[in-house]
Structure 1
């Protein structure tokens, strides 16, 4: 009996009565992570298993995650698997279960967080198989270069956060530049987008915003010090709560923010100047918001 958790002594006695009386010499082996379960079920001293070594854990994981030899065809998946195995703490059952649920097979997966993978340069193309994915977070992958074309198939995606990826250039997303119209027609429609600390980001690309022009409500852009132009920004008619922080070279806001409720701009001197109450070039574009914060100074609807 594997991975027993029930600590009810009465239930164990009832179960034990059902299985006794079999062939002579028959044994029941129970594995558990609970000392209480071991005390209830054990008839001899417990044997404490040591954690699986990392290399053996990885080998077991790959055995269940891939068909024999196929892992060599998916080096990026293997790198993610390595990070997963480290978090399994050498527990074979956990390694086996997670390996048997290879990411490309998780059709019902709704949340995926890829965090702290310093050796990851490219995401796996199999991400396009995660058709139920609602939230995707990619963070602290300092050598990630670009995102895969398969993102266009994540039609259920509503929240996307990309943060602390020093080498990531969103304008170089694999193949997106040639398929902008398809992304607009068939791609995701985001409700929330967060972009934080992408030093190589010079402009927001069309593929990221076009499909979400009429759905995006929350937008956060922070620590993108080289973001200089909004040429690719489109009419974000549903935008309600944008926050732009420490983007000193960003020149202007999105156009036509008809449903704007709150706006926060910090450490963006060019934007702050354009949004000054009554005098800024963009003031009429934001005056209908109920609450505005410019470099720590709050402006409420009553002040407009």
Structure 2
């Protein structure tokens, strides 16, 4: 083990058998473990007979604890960072600490292991060559809709985390933005007793979740199929350009392109790019 090093240690997301031998060796050997919730992590450590002291490191104290941890590293201590479950820093605190440790000249070493979003992606049946992780969407409806609208045309597989008490609200917002036919996979309670991985169109999947209260319990990864890529050679026709030009005389680029796409049953992104080009040609 390298001296004066911060180890980023992945822990199980459910099944305790998923912890690695390297993770156990690291947690047993370091002088200190920084844990998101020491009471929660104490149960994990107790299960494996690990008695290493812990400090709490969470959203509210991370910056202050980072200074203390850097001080301990400067004294030669090895320290491990863990989250409540899975790989630290994935929608969890820790990046301020990692940056502070690296800026102070100390080594940061990942100890890989379980990660809910990668586990879900591997079993989803959705494209994995390009994907985007959006974390948790905002709790307030308007902000949630804005976040989803921002990725509506993204062709990559989109991935989200969600909690049980907001699941239906998020699924309904997705229905509003992406429509009933977009394919979505719901991955619930991964590696645990009631693990569920179910895919269907958004319209059908919402009905399935509404009909079974058990499917609204646990922790969720939502995986959404990306938007269909625009066809090659998709230049606007003369009539489409005429409609767009007329609308640009009265409306903003965003408003004109959205309305023209609706009138002509086309892609908003394509009309938007054409509108920008028109305004550039006009010198506006």
With the shorter chain as reference, the TM-score category is under 0.3
TM score, norm. by length of structure 2:
0.27
- Which structure is higher in helix share? 2
TM score, norm. by length of structure 1:
0.26
Larger gyration radius, structure 1 or structure 2: 1
Q: Structure with the greater relative contact order (CA < 8 A, sep ≥ 6): 1 or 2?
A: 2
